[in-house]
């Protein structure tokens, strides 16, 4: 059985840094799901089960859109 480490540091506004055995990665949480470097994932309502689609382009677009909204205060 291998050692597993996972920690999330909240940065505010749904943004966070995930730290685990493979390194550090950013993520953005919304009411509908989570955008991360692995794509978009949603909770199913069943503990321990989630749906994930690997769409990195969607994550980048959403990050830019969120940055513009907060910066320009639209």
Average pLDDT for residues 45-61, to the nearest whole number?
65
Which residues are registered as beta bridge partners of 41? 34, 52
- Could you identify the residue written with the tokens 């996972």? 6
* Selected residue with higher pLDDT from 19 and 52: 19
Domain residue spans in the chain?
6-72
Q: pLDDT value at position 55?
A: 57
Split at pLDDT 50, 70, 90, the class of 31 is: confident
Split at pLDDT 50, 70, 90, the class of 10 is: very high
Rounded to the nearest integer, the mean pLDDT of the chain is: 76
């Amino acid at each position: 059985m291998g050692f597993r480490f996972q920690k999330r540091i909240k940065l505010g506004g749904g943004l966070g840094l995930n730290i685990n055995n493979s390194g550090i990665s950013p993520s953005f949480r919304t009411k509908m799901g989570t955008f991360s470097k692995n794509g978009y994932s949603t909770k199913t309502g069943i503990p321990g089960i989630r749906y994930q689609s690997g769409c990195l382009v969607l994550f980048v677009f959403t990050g830019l859109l969120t940055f513009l909204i907060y910066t320009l205060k639209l």
